[in-house]
Amino acid sequence: MTVLLFREDAYLQEAEARVLRHTSEGGVVLDRTIFYPTGGGQPGDSGRLDWSEGGTKAGLTIATTVKGAPNGARDEIVLIPAEPAPLPPIGATVTQRLDWMRRHHHMRIHTALHLLSVVLPYPVTGGAIGAEKGRLDFQMPEPVADKQALEDDLNALIERDLVVTEDWITDEELIANPAIVKTMSVMPPMGQGQTEGRVRLIRIGLGRDQIDLQPCGGTHVARTSEIGRIRIGKLEKKGRDNRRVSIHLD
């Protein structure tokens, strides 16, 4: 099982690790990683691995990161090289270097989408996160009445500088409290953590200032003000009862 350093600290940009194995497709599996794997609408991280071999420095560009579960293993993370190249030897110590700007943009967009689901309190039917923009699809029969008002309300939440924290509940507690699940088409990430049967929750605001609490396995900024100003993009109809709302980093 790969230790998920990005889960412990989403702001970690560099860390050492040991190579556990190579996949048959040419991927690299480490014993611990700062690279977030594709999931929950958030793209896998990119970056670089550096190591020394026989006194010579070597490196490998990582294009993306995915989840892998050979032989039923949990939480194994596979780093995918950008192009065919020599891989670091099994057992070698490597330094992971994250493409931080790209990841941080993902974090900003991801947290902004959670806030969008507060401003538009409808069931979520889909979503996607990019480095400059993101979108949510809602089960929302009627169109947004005022696009500028929606943008103003979203930025007002961002400017409140609310703290973003995580919490954990059991799978059973989630099943008993389905109201916190906003997504209709995708099951929340269950069975996480260091033990089986736990669900990670992302909380925005604390105490009386809490405005959102929902299951999520992705990476987020520490405070909403870190998102910066958001611009509302296209408002599209995607079916009889579905509306797509796109947001952009301004």
pLDDT tops 80 at residue 132 = yes
Tally the C-alpha atoms within 13 A of residue 216's C-alpha that lie toward its C-beta.
22
Question: In the block, which residue shows the tokens 């070698």?
Answer: 92
pLDDT score for 189: 57
Q: What is the CATH code of the structural domain delimited by 102-249? A: 3.30.980.10
- Select the more confidently predicted residue: 11 or 70: 11
Provide the mean pLDDT of the chain: 91
pLDDT score for 42: 97
User: What are the structure tokens assigned to 226, written together?
Assistant: 């870190």
Q: Find the mean pLDDT for residues 188-215.
A: 79
For the chain, what are the domain ranges? 3-98, 102-249
Question: In the block, which residue shows the tokens 């389905």?
Answer: 178
Q: Are 171 and 187 in contact (CB under 8 A)?
A: no
- Angle (nearest 5°) at CA 102 between 100 and 104: 65
Other CB atoms within 10 Å distance of the CB of residue 79: 32
pLDDT tops 90 at residue 190 = no
pLDDT score for 184: 53
pLDDT tops 60 at residue 193 = no
pLDDT tens per residue, range 219-236: 999 999 999 999 999 999
Residue 192 CA to its chain's centroid (Å): 14
Q: Find the mean pLDDT for residues 70-76.
A: 57
Return d(Cα 137, Cα 148) in angstroms, integer: 19
The fraction of the chain above a pLDDT of 70, given in percent, is 91
Of the candidate CATH numbers 3.40.1390.10, 3.40.190.10, 3.90.550.10, 2.40.30.130, the domain formed by 3-98 belongs to 2.40.30.130
The fraction of the chain above a pLDDT of 90, given in percent, is 80
- Amino acid letter for position 172: E
pTM of the predicted structure, to 2 decimals: 0.91
SS3 50: strand
pLDDT band at 171 (very low <50, low <70, confident <90, very high): confident
Q: Find the mean pLDDT for residues 117-131.
A: 96
